[in-house]
């Protein structure tokens, strides 16, 4: 049992939401786009969507400037 | 130069279109690069007017200060390549309808400034136009260390990415780094349209 977050293999935690996973990863950036197994998860759903076992999570950090 | 390859590329680009969200440092420079390369059609969206402080990195001129950015950018592009069809929308992209101007372009370039709008835009395009290739940039501020920039692909999202760069609120925006990222975005758009170098 495990998940991959930005290429890093970590333990899977049952019923862990995206919001909780971001906190566990110590990703403090407020502005991220999250994809689970290539599916985009809207930010408003971060507190509700549970990360499934064996999934691949991409956390894309948007930094100001342009 | 490989003229046969060049002609084939020109022909393909002439039939292709790119939408650019934002006409500041990233957008103005990316649009000009694509126009020079011979893209057929550009859709440019921005709500802003040119200020003198923009001239240190954006593709405008002193005598254009006060003008509407998308109008001035269209003028500048036409002075370089009059064959490009340039559609302009002088409007702010609002949450809930951000994808609207970009339904019928081949590639969308995110060229917005603040992280909140960038995130909203990328999220909305990926959700509403799931097959549309989107090129975005994150980590545009500062100078030096430009070999940290990489391209990362997440499905239809292509990121020009320097994860270690600071936010523009805590750093400076300067032409070399901004233009590097803008041209990186334009080059990625070409790669998506042409199907990589092996295609031609």
Distance set, CA B154 to CA A36, A55, B93, B168 (Å)? 10, 14, 23, 24
For the ranges A52-56, B1-5, B128-132, B180-184, the lowest mean pLDDT is seen at: B1-5
Q: How many CB pairs under 8 A join A and B?
A: 80
Quote the pLDDT of residue A1.
86
Nearest residue of A to residue B179, measured between CA atoms: A66
Determine the distance in angstroms separating the CA of B158 from the nearest CA of chain A, rounded to an integer: 11
**pTM assigned to the model:** 0.94
Does the distance separating the beta carbons of B168 and A62 come in below 8 Å?
Answer: no
CB contact under 8 A, A63 and B159: no
Q: Binning pLDDT at 50, 70 and 90, where does residue A31 land?
A: confident
User: Under a CB-based contact definition with an 8 Å cutoff, are residues A28 and A36 in contact?
Assistant: no
A2 touches chain B (CB under 8 A): no
Q: What is the ipTM of this complex?
A: 0.86
Is A66 touching B (CB cutoff 8 A)? yes
Q: Which two tokens stand for residue B50?
A: 């040119």
CA-based nearest residue in chain B for residue A42: B123
pLDDT in tens, B134-158: 999 999 999 999 999 999 999 999 9
CA distance readout (Å), A36 to A8, A19, A26, B65, B176: 14, 13, 18, 45, 35
For residue B31, the SS3 value is helix
Cβ neighbours of B136 in A, within 8 Å: 62
**Quick one: which of B144, B175, B182 has its CA closest to B160?**
B182
* Per-residue pLDDT tens over the stretch A9-23: 999 999 999 999 999
């Amino acid at each position: 049992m495990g998940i991959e977050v930005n290429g890093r293999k970590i333990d899977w935690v049952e019923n862990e939401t995206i919001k909780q996973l971001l906190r566990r990863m110590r990703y403090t950036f407020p502005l991220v786009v999250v994809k689970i197994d290539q599916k985009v998860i809207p930010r408003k759903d971060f507190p509700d969507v549970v990360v499934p076992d064996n999934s691949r999570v991409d956390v894309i950090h948007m930094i100001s400037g342009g | 130069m490989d003229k046969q390859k060049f002609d084939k590329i020109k022909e393909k680009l002439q039939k292709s279109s790119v939408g650019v969200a934002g006409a500041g440092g990233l957008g103005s420079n990316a649009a000009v690069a694509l126009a020079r390369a011979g893209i057929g059609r550009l859709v440019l969206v921005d709500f802003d007017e040119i200020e003198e402080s923009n001239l240190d990195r954006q593709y405008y001129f002193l005598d254009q200060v006060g003008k509407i950015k998308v109008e001035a950018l269209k003028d500048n592009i036409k002075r370089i390549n009059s064959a490009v069809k340039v559609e302009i929308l002088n409007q702010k992209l609002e949450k809930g309808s951000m994808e609207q101007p970009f339904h019928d372009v081949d590639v969308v370039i995110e060229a917005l400034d603040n992280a909140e709008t960038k995130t909203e835009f990328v999220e909305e395009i990926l959700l509403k136009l799931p097959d549309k290739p989107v090129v975005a940039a994150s980590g545009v501020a500062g100078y030096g260390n430009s070999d940290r920039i990489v391209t990362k692909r997440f499905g239809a999202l292509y990121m020009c990415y320097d994860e270690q760069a600071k936010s523009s609120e805590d750093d400076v925006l300067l032409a070399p780094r901004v233009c590097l990222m803008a041209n990186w975005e334009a080059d990625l758009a070409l790669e998506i349209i042409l199907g990589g170098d092996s295609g031609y």
